[in-house]
Structure 1
């Protein structure tokens, strides 16, 4: 079985504060810290002023630098992402801009800490209370400029966070993808294989969502409307990324064929799509030939084509089924469990 992270790693990215919000937060925290010191610090005006103004600088430094570094720490590294999530990230955002933005935020965090140390030393050397206040104001001005400089980078991360945080969780269980042209019986098969009504999960690479269900054997089944249901030359870049993402997700594939062609697609089209899936996915494939409750004389020639194709491709796991009449579904379920168990042993 393929290794997957169960939780969406992008949910850990904290809410992004923009420069004005972050400066206000730092200023308020600094004033609160200063108020506490005013009540407890005893000494000459210059000494008190140095202590209070330095505390403001150090508190603001801590608030801002810690917040910025926390963004970087809690944002998953693109290079270390689970391949499934990495492909989805590539669909939704410009990964180069995202990396650069994280680098800019990290740079700003380090610079704010340096400024905090520099201006704290200046305050300790100040000759008058007025000078300590002036140095503190200068510090806040410098930090504000740094934050304004990374505004576009914070905006980039904020947009990415909103797009990525709601990607549905991928459960770390054996996963079988159901593929085939529209109207061949994929949705009906999904309902027959699972213990409850399938849920629809919204992913960025399809407007129709992925239909997901679970069997009592603990297998996750995914029907992929809008993705694995047409030739590769008809897919856009986003859909091609989606195919790659599903390749990392799938432990096996059930390819559903309608030999009657009542689905609206010829047997040649269906076999061409199967051939593309064989060449794209490095996982076991079970072929489910559906609608066998219909008189075979109507599609015998098509069955012969399918048989010849599967023999040429070396595909031996083939089950003749009818989702309408529940024919051979137990046989298909048994083959699926065997396929998944074999994958778990070999992984």
Structure 2
């Protein structure tokens, strides 16, 4: 393996994932909270999917989008965390070149998809609060399906060039990736070529997706807040705003760490590499773990259905 790390090659058959550089001696301890969070994310999102599927009263646009979010979260964390844990537990560092590019595609694609789903959920809340009489006709099941398809296609089309460009670069320096996964810039930085096009494309797409989606989310919530503050009583305002609480919490959990990670990885040259890698894994894992908890606790109909589920099992 040491020979493959130093010999010239342009198309490596495998890459070597280091894990978290500089923290190798504590990998086993780091794996404990990450494994715990991963299990919570898997169970939480599957419970959300099960509750929505088995409860007919939840068969509506808001909960369909929530199911899309749960599926996206499951794929996002599952395409990275099991490999990370295998590095930590079994020192299984090798990853096939094609598998690495596929993992890169899934990471980029499902990050963009999750952002798009949050935008779709904001639109759903806008129609439900600002134009409630047309909600059932505007967001019919075929429309929800088309929105889901559009979000998926957008994520795929934006993510695919990253992997295609990465597959074209010659890798003649090393095949060691100082990361736990095939993050886009961590891979292309190994190329012995001018990678400005990859760097600029990745940065532009990440910032553009976040900027566009946050803009439309902010526009939706500006109209929502205007509608809420026009309600006659404080109780009505609080009750209406409460329907948006879980969505707003999930938006903050997703966008704030994600934006910080994107900017620090490209501009935070004085930030230690172990922090970069550790925080990137937190960004991948924490939103999938917290989203089902946030929606389960703050959404009354899901909370009531969950309580009935466990109460029924106990009796």
TM-score by length of 2: 0.29
| Structure number having the greater strand percentage | 1
Higher relative contact order (CA 8 A, sep 6+): 2
TM-score by length of 1: 0.27
Whichever of the two has the greater Rg, that structure is: 1
